[in-house]
Structure 1
Amino acid sequence: MSEALTLEEMAPALRALRLIVVECAHLPAPFVHLSPVDGARVELSLHYVDLSGDTFNVFEMWREALGMESGAVTFRVQSNGRTRVLRVTGPYGGAEVMLTAYATAPAAAVTTAGGAA
């Protein structure tokens, strides 16, 4: 395992987080993760937020506020199809910021064999 960084070595992530707090104060608070191993990375995650729609709407508000390209967003499904995940990573305030949103997938339609309902 790598040796933990000092707070001084984490300055890029801390400066970016400070800028995020100032410029995005109006947005719903995400979970924030700063790693003592990578001092130039900020991870923001949204879990089942309910404000003006679903988590993905809030993700879009954050993505736009951070100036990240919509074409860079990835989508995947995890937990046997029960959770949808959006993710985008890009530079912000001198650090790399990863924004991730998790949302419950809509219930799949239940059908009997042969497609009859």
Structure 2
Amino acid sequence: MTTLLLEALDAPLRVLRLFAAEYPLLPAPTVSVSTVYPDLLELSFHDDFSGFEAWRDVLGIAPGDVSFHVQGDGHTGVLKAHIEYAGASLRLVGFADVSGTDEERSRAEVVS
């Protein structure tokens, strides 16, 4: 197995430096860079979708380009988007508790 050098991670690390300079006031994500996918920068947000949405808007990702699913636990919603940005593959991921969503919809339908 060949060991990758740090320079193999140049694209996602360069994008991360750009983001730090251009968007210092946006919510801080959990950042993931890996030698398994050396061109990928993953920014993830936990607990609610507001950080995801702030970054989605700034990066110009259309709402229609975002996928949504609920994890098998039935409580965790997941938003995902993928774009190419400055030579790196960027994955934006958001997690939030959506367990009250169905109950709240049911109540709203009864009230209407």
Could you say which TM-score interval applies, normalised by the shorter chain?
0.7 to 0.9
Q: Which consecutive residues of structure 1, in runs of 5 or more, have no partner in the other structure?
A: 49-54, 110-117
Task: Identify the match of residue 69 of structure 1 among 59, 62, 71.
Answer: 62
Deviation at 1:4, TM superposition (A): 4.2
Contact in 2 for aligned 1:59/1:100 (Cα 8 Å): yes
Q: Which consecutive residues of structure 2, in runs of 5 or more, have no partner in the other structure?
A: 104-112
Q: Number of residues paired by the alignment? A: 103
Structure with the bigger percentage of helix: 2
The 2-side partners of 1:13 and 1:96 are apart by 7
The percent of aligned pairs where both chains have the same amino acid is 40
CA offsets per residue over residues 10-68 of structure 1, 9 Å max, x none?
A: 111111111111122111111000011222110010001xxxxxx22321111111222
Contact in 2 for aligned 1:5/1:37 (Cα 8 Å): no
Matches within 5 A, 1:18-29: 18-29=17-28
The 1-side partners of 2:61 and 2:22 are apart by 14
The 2-side partners of 1:100 and 1:24 are apart by 18
Matches within 5 A, 1:101-116: 101-107=94-100, 108-109=102-103
Pick closer, same or farther for the CA change 1:42–1:4 going to 2, 3 Å.
Answer: farther
Q: TM-score, normalised by structure 2?
A: 0.82
The 2-side partners of 1:7 and 1:56 are apart by 32
Contact in 1 for aligned 2:82/2:89 (Cα 8 Å): yes
Matches within 5 A, 1:1-117: 3-48=2-47, 55-107=48-100, 108-109=102-103
Letter in 2 for 1:72: D
Alignment RMSD, CA only? 1.8
Letter in 2 for 1:89: H
